[in-house]
Structure formats: structure tokens, C-alpha cells
């Protein structure tokens, strides 16, 4: 004998009286039960083989706000064609737009659709466009579809093939929104018919009360069974974006290791971003195609840096007191004062070293947003993040630096092995490039590192060795999550974001 709860029995009895399949809405209306109660009862009955569930996908079409406006007033190409035809059949585009009450932003839209639909001709007269309309065209499928959807919700499956094609065009024009829904219906099975007529409901309760316990009634009642495997509504609680959560994790690791965070402006002077790092003013990385230069204002006053500017200038020209010969050119103050978008996080290392709060020995880091006019591809963005850090201590050497880099690769990115390659930067000697490998992902370059040259540290007033690194933290995250395209980090794909684990 099948044991049914009161809700399950009520659903079965409604289905015995129903002519054909019934929807969840029909069941809720006839039983008086809540939607969630109907869903639980239907799931249990379907698992017991007493009812069958049928799911039919349906695409619901709804006009957008702009679509509603065009359904009422007409498509912009129709309005402008009618206006031109009624005013001699030939008008400048600007005059036609103004006369038909359309904004100038619709100019490219109407000319494109008029040409595509063969409703008229567009001729260029000097720098101006002229519309020529010889006759009012007949109403087309796009207009028929808008009229059909006006003030109503229509299913795509109900439309003719020609109107379906029109819907695709209107969806691309953002005039129609297509929403895919699942229509569920339930139908009683022969076993369900038998159960509905032979089984009576037993009194059940979903929770105990104090009165039931004190009176002893709890011993006589039957508690309702719950199906813990039944589906529940999906909930998406608020949480940090997975990449933002990763950045916070990296910060916590560095702070736990004794590092202090450094912050600084996104708009930086070429003096801090380049000159203090002993990057010559004619270096290729300072060309217009490698840096974003500000147009207004284009420069800043360097007086706030006092004698530091003089020391850096002499280091570039003749080496100052560093024992170097310098770059042997005439230092330009106007070049140094130019404003740019910060191109690398190492600019924040400079700000750490010129700070009056600098401590030796000391450890400093920054998670820095940087900007370079790179070509977008799967490993490059025009805006990216770097994990930048320096360690100041008279007892440090290159081996200490390699240990820090290996920790980053293995603990942060989950790499299985690392390797170091000699590299060149104007501001470090020796210089090392970090590469890491992860099973199933492969090798990836993370960034550069090294020990700051005396030409960098001594003009800044630092007399001890400084280990420095600048790693592409975007790439660290890519390896940790097995992401192949860096653009995925900033994707608006909500499903991908929701699927990312919290841990």
C-alpha cells in the first residue's frame, strides 16, 4: 500500500478530475497549496511512478521599451522614408532626421536599414548624405512582427517561419527580448489512479508544538516525511567576485609574511614611473605606443621632490656618486614632468623608497592597476594588475629573491614547478624572469624581478640591497583556476561567476 501525505493525495485527486495534463499553476489554484508544496508533492509522486512530468521549452517574446515605442510610432526607417516621400522624395539626411523627429544618432541606423530593405537610395553630396525615396514601400515582416507583439506576450514557436526570421533581426536590434522558459505539466498514471482511490490520507504534522509535548499528544501523531533529495530554488547569495577574492587572499598572505601595503595614484609622472628607475628618456618603452600620456593636464610640477630631481638627473647624465657613467645624454625636465597612466607597479616601489616612513630592514608590497596600450589577446589587456614588492635588508642576496618568487608560484598559483631565466631591465642587476608550470595547464611567464641597481637606490637615499619583483597577478589567477584567456577574468558571464567556488 502506498503511503501518501495529505498534499500528495490532494494533488492526485485534482489530477483524477482534470481533463488532460495540468500545470503547477492549475494544481495550486485547485488545491489551494503554495507553489513550493505543489513542487514537493509532484516530485514525490513522480518518483513513486504515480504521475508523469512533461517539460516543454518555450521562447517567450516581449518588446523592449524601445520596441514598444517603435511599435507605437513606427520603425525609424519607416518614419524617415515616409517623411522624405511626402516632402518631394529627396532630402538631406540631417533634414530628414530633424523633420521626422528622430535624433541624429539614428542616422547610421536608418541609412543602413533603408539600403538593406531597398526602400530608397543614399547618395553622397560632398560631405553630406542625401536620401532618395521614389515610393512608399509596403509593410514588411519587421513591422508585422512588432504589431503582433504589441501589448502581448507571444511564443516564438507560434509564429510563421518568416516572422521568426524577423524576430531574429529585432532581437539583434534590441527591440525584442527572447526569454526561454520551461512549461511543466503533470499527468496521472494508471498506478496513480489506483492510489488515489484506495489510499486515504493520514493526519500529519510538519512540526511539534509545546502543547503537543506537554499533553502527550506527540506520541499519537504522524510526522510528515521530507524528501531531502528534492530540488529547491537556486539562490545566489552575495559574494566577492572570484578574482577580487583572489587578490584579497594574496594581500592576506603578504601581510602575514610581514609586508606592508603601499598605495599610490593611477596618474603618475614620468619622473616616478621611469626616471627614478634609471630608465633613459629615449628608451623604447617610453614611446607613445607603450605608454598612455595625458593630454590635459599634460604635465606636473616636480618641485615637491626637491633635490631628488637633481640627483636623478645627474645619475642619468653622468652617474652622480653611484660609480656609474650614466646614460650620457642631456636630461630633460619637461620629459620628466609629463603625466602618464601608471605603466607598471614598480612606480609604487619608488614611492615606498622615497617615503619618510621607510624602514630598513623592511618589506613592502602593492597590488597595482597598470595601463599599457597593448593589443588585446588571450594573455594581454590594456588594463591589468601587478603584484609588486620590495625587501630592503643589508644581508639579502639573489637566493632570497628566488625563494620569494617560488613561494608565489607554488602557494598562490598552485604551480608544480618553477624555473628562472636571465632577463634585462634598466633598473635591476641581476635580473630574473619567473616562469611556472602546472599540470594540465603548461608553462606561463609571470613577470620580472631582480636587485635594484645603485643608480636606482642611491639617488633615493637607500643604502642597502633591495630585492624587487613585479608579477602579473592576473596570470597567477589564470593558472590557479585553469583559465586560458585573460579576458575571462573580467567577463560579464554570470553563470561562470556563480560557478566559481568560494574557497
Three-state DSSP class for residue 419: strand
pLDDT value, residue 431: 92
Return phi, psi of residue 156, to 5°.
-60, -35
Model confidence pLDDT, tens digit, residues 247-257: 998 899 889 88
User: Is pLDDT at 464 greater than 60 in this prediction?
Assistant: yes
The mean per-residue pLDDT over the stretch 90-109 comes to 86
Look at residue 324 in the predicted model and tell me its pLDDT. 93
> In a 3-state reduction of DSSP, which class is residue 236?
coil
30-34: Cβ within 8 A, 24+ apart: 31/7, 33/7
Residues 6+ apart with CB under 8 A from 12: 4, 45, 50, 51, 188, 192, 195, 196
Query: How do strand 204-205 and strand 222-223 relate by DSSP bridges?
Result: parallel
In a 13 Å sphere around the CA of 178, the CA atoms on its Cβ side amount to 16
Q: Which residues pair with 362 in a beta bridge?
A: 392
pLDDT at position 2, please?
Answer: 61
**Burial letters for 226-248: b for 16+ Cβ neighbours within 10 Å, e otherwise?**
eeeeeeeeeeeeeeeebbeebbe
3-state secondary structure of 384: strand
Q: Is the pLDDT of residue 341 over 90?
A: yes
Instruction: Answer whether 405's CB lies under 8 Å from 467's CB.
Output: no
What mean pLDDT do residues 36-41 have?
84
pLDDT tens for 272-284 read 999 999 999 988 8
pLDDT of residue 204: 62
Taking only the tens place, the pLDDT of each residue in 215-248 is: 877 777 777 666 677 666 677 777 788 888 889 9
Q: Chain-wide mean pLDDT for the chain?
A: 86
d(CA 163, CA 174): 16
Q: Quick check: 137 and 89 in contact, CB under 8 A?
A: no
**pLDDT at residue 203, as a whole number:** 55
- pLDDT value, residue 199: 56
pLDDT bucket at 205, cuts 50 / 70 / 90 = low
Selection from 296, 388, 383 nearest residue 351 by Cα: 388
Residue 486 has pLDDT above 70, yes or no: yes
**Cα 265 to Cα 294: distance, rounded to the nearest angstrom:** 14
For the chain, what percent of residues have pLDDT higher than 90?
29
The closest alpha carbon to 354, from 393, 312, 319, belongs to 312
**pLDDT value at 345 more than 60:** yes
Q: How far apart, in whole angstroms, are the C-alpha atoms of residue 135 and residue 132?
A: 10
Note the pLDDT of residue 364: 95
19-23, 170-174, 337-341 — which one is most confidently predicted on average? 337-341
pLDDT digits (tens, 9 = 90+) for 403-452: 888 888 888 888 899 999 998 888 999 999 999 998 888 888 888 899 99
**Residue 195: alpha-carbon gap to chain centroid:** 52
Burial 327-353 (b: 16+ CB within 10 A, else e): beeebeeeebbbbbbbbbbbbbbbbbb
What does the pLDDT read at residue 12? Answer: 84
Q: 502: pLDDT confidence band, cut at 50, 70 and 90?
A: low
Q: What is the mean pLDDT of residues 371-398?
A: 87
Q: Is the pLDDT of residue 73 over 60?
A: yes
Max intra-chain CA distance, the chain: 103
Q: Which residues contact 372 (CB under 8 A, 6 or more apart)?
A: 290, 291, 292, 343, 382, 384
Residue among 353, 341, 210, 328 nearest 277 (CA):
353
Amino acid at each position: 500500500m502506498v503511503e501518501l501525505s495529505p498534499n500528495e493525495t490532494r494533488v492526485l485527486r485534482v489530477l483524477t478530475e482534470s481533463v488532460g495534463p495540468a500545470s503547477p499553476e492549475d494544481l495550486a489554484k485547485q488545491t489551494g497549496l503554495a507553489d513550493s508544496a505543489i513542487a514537493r508533492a509532484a516530485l514525490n509522486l513522480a518518483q513513486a511512478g504515480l504521475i508523469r512530468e512533461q517539460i516543454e521549452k518555450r521562447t517567450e517574446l516581449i518588446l523592449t521599451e524601445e520596441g514598444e515605442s517603435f511599435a507605437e510610432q513606427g520603425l525609424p526607417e519607416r518614419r524617415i522614408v515616409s517623411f522624405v516621400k511626402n516632402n518631394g522624395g529627396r532630402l538631406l539626411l540631417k533634414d530628414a532626421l530633424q523633420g521626422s523627429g528622430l535624433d541624429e544618432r539614428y542616422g547610421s541606423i536608418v541609412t543602413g536599414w533603408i539600403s538593406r530593405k531597398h526602400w530608397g537610395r543614399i547618395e553622397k553630396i560632398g560631405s553630406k548624405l542625401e536620401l532618395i525615396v521614389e515610393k512608399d514601400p509596403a509593410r514588411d515582416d519587421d513591422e508585422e512582427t512588432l504589431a503582433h507583439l504589441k501589448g502581448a506576450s507571444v511564443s516564438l514557436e507560434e509564429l510563421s517561419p518568416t516572422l521568426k526570421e524577423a524576430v531574429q533581426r529585432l532581437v539583434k536590434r534590441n527591440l525584442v527580448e527572447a526569454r526561454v522558459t520551461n512549461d511543466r505539466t503533470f499527468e496521472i498514471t494508471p498506478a496513480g489512479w489506483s492510489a488515489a482511490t484506495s489510499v486515504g490520507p493520514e493526519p500529519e504534522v510538519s512540526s511539534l508544538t509545546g502543547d503537543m509535548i506537554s499533553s502527550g499528544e506527540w506520541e499519537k501523531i504522524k510526522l510528515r516525511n521530507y524528501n531531502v533529495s528534492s530540488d529547491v530554488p537556486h539562490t545566489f547569495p552575495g559574494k566577492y567576485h572570484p578574482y577580487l577574492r583572489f587578490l584579497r587572499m594574496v594581500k592576506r598572505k603578504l601581510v602575514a609574511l610581514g609586508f606592508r601595503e603601499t598605495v599610490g595614484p593611477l596618474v603618475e609622472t614620468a619622473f616616478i614611473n621611469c626616471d627614478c628607475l634609471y630608465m633613459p628618456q629615449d628608451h623604447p618603452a617610453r614611446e607613445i605606443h607603450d605608454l598612455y600620456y595625458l593630454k590635459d593636464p599634460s604635465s606636473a610640477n616636480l618641485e615637491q621632490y626637491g633635490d631628488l630631481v637633481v640627483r636623478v638627473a645627474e645619475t642619468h647624465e653622468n652617474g652622480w656618486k653611484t660609480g656609474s657613467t650614466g646614460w650620457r645624454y642631456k636630461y630633460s625636465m619637461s620629459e620628466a614632468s609629463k603625466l602618464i597612466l601608471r605603466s607598471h607597479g614598480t612606480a609604487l616601489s619608488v614611492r615606498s623608497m622615497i617615503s619618510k616612513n621607510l624602514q630598513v630592514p623592511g618589506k613592502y608590497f602593492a597590488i597595482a592597476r597598470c595601463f599599457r596600450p597593448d593589443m588585446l589577446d588571450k594573455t594581454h589587456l590594456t588594463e591589468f594588475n601587478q603584484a609588486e614588492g620590495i625587501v630592503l635588508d643589508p644581508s639579502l642576496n639573489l637566493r632570497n629573491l628566488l625563494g620569494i618568487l617560488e613561494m608565489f608560484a607554488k602557494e598562490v598559483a598552485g604551480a608544480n614547478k618553477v624555473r628562472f631565466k636571465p632577463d634585462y631591465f634598466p633598473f635591476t642587476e641581476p635580473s630574473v624572469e619567473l616562469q611556472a608550470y602546472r599540470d594540465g595547464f603548461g608553462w606561463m611567464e609571470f613577470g620580472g624581478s631582480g636587485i635594484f641597481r645603485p643608480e636606482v637606490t642611491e639617488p633615493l637615499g637607500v643604502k642597502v640591497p633591495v630585492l624587487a619583483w613585479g608579477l602579473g597577478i592576473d596570470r597567477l589567477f589564470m593558472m590557479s583556476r585553469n583559465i586560458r584567456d585573460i579576458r575571462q577574468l573580467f567577463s560579464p558571464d554570470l553563470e561562470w561567476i556563480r560557478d566559481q567556488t568560494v574557497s
